[in-house]
């Protein structure tokens, strides 16, 4: 099998390392940084450069780029993809990417699936990529409406050796709405929280709560700014809801209303237990 990977950053590099370690596939790559390409070849992570001819031969092509760069690549190479293969993006937003990609695939005769591996770290670049990045992680697959189930199953089969714990099928809209809550809002809150003037003096006063809440404040601002703006509607809805919810806590505290405050806190505790399970919420 021949696999093409465009972008050898944290996710693309980890994909390349995983396929090379866990399968017999040939890995062909394309990265804007020549030094990264040289390093990947020296390490034996890739077999060579993903050019137009190799695109025609690859059964699976993974686009590990930011959304705008992904669409630019698809437009530039739309006539070079293997019509019997699968092209999949790995972006953190889906409505913008899939709307254009599904249309390009139909017009140029190739198969496209949206993809989003739910894995990563705050560190970026090929240097920090690793073969076990996707062990037990969820892999989201976003097919076009009415997509042939055989194509989806083929994608799952090819991706299975990477160690994903679960494959989730969804629509572009549902994906973006859910990611706005589970990922993007968390990054916004964490990034804003760490800018409190009090944070400068926290050492000696902090433990797990501080570490948990600030972990994703350490982010790639270029990538996340693009993702936030590409998913503006869903993310603004989540921010508005959180501001409304926080205002209730503030009002109860400002008024010294212990009964109301206890009720709000209880509601949150019960919601955590209901959504994630009692034992998890106690851990």
Residues 223, 91: Cα–Cα separation, whole Å: 10
Q: Where are the domains of the chain?
A: 2-170, 175-282
Q: What is the mean pLDDT of residues 178-188?
A: 97
Q: Are strands 26-30 and 138-142 parallel, antiparallel or unpaired?
A: unpaired
Same fold, 2-170 and 175-282: no
Dump strand ranges (E) for the chain: 2-6, 26-30, 48-49, 60-63, 86-89, 111-117, 138-142, 166-169
Q: Which of the following CATH numbers is that of domain 2-170: 3.30.70.3420, 3.40.50.1370, 3.40.50.720, 3.90.1150.10?
A: 3.40.50.720
User: What's the pLDDT score for residue 207?
Assistant: 82
- Check if the beta carbon of residue 92 is closer than 8 Å to that of residue 220: no
Q: What is the mean pLDDT of residues 23-38?
A: 97
**Lowest-pLDDT range, 78-82, 189-193, 215-219, 228-232?**
215-219
User: What's the pLDDT score for residue 190?
Assistant: 96
Q: Which residue has the higher pLDDT, 277 or 165?
A: 165
Q: Is the pLDDT of residue 281 over 70?
A: no
Residues 6, 37: Cα–Cα separation, whole Å: 11
User: What's the pLDDT score for residue 283?
Assistant: 47
Q: What is the CATH number of domain 175-282?
A: 1.10.3660.10
Q: Is the pLDDT of residue 122 over 90?
A: no
Q: Is the pLDDT of residue 32 over 50?
A: yes
User: What's the pLDDT score for residue 183?
Assistant: 96
Question: pLDDT above 70 covers what percent of the chain?
Answer: 98
Q: Write out pLDDT tens, residues 233-278.
A: 999 999 999 999 999 999 999 999 999 999 999 999 999 999 998 6
Residue whose tokens read 């050492």: 203
Q: For the chain, give the mean pLDDT.
A: 95
């Amino acid at each position: 099998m021949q696999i093409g990977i465009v972008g050898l950053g944290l996710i693309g590099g980890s994909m390349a390392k995983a396929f090379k370690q866990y399968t017999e596939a040939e890995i062909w790559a394309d990265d804007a940084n020549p030094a990264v390409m040289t390093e990947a070849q020296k390490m034996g992570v890739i077999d060579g450069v993903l050019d137009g001819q190799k695109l025609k031969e690859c059964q699976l092509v993974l686009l590990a780029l930011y959304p705008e760069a992904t669409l630019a690549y698809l437009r530039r190479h739309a006539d070079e993809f293997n019509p019997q293969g699968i092209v999949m993006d790995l972006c953190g937003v889906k409505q913008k990417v899939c709307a254009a990609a599904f249309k390009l695939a139909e017009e140029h005769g190739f198969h496209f699936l949206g993809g989003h591996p739910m894995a990563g770290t705050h560190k970026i670049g090929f240097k920090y990529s690793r073969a076990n990045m996707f062990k037990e992680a969820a892999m989201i697959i976003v097919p076009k409406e009415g997509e042939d189930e055989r194509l989806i199953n083929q994608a799952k089969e090819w991706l299975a050796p990477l160690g994903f714990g679960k494959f989730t099928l969804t629509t572009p809209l549902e994906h973006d709405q859910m990611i706005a809550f589970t990922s993007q809002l968390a990054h916004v809150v964490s990034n804003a929280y760490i800018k409190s003037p009090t944070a400068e003096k926290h050492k000696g006063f902090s433990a797990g709560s501080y570490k948990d809440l600030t972990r994703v404040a350490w982010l790639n601002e270029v990538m996340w700014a693009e993702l936030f703006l590409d998913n503006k509607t869903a993310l603004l809805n989540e921010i508005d809801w959180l501001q409304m919810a926080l205002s209730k806590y503030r009002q109860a505290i400002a008024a010294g209303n212990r009964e109301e405050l206890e009720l709000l806190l209880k509601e949150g505790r019960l919601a955590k237990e209901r959504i994630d399970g009692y034992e998890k919420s106690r851990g």
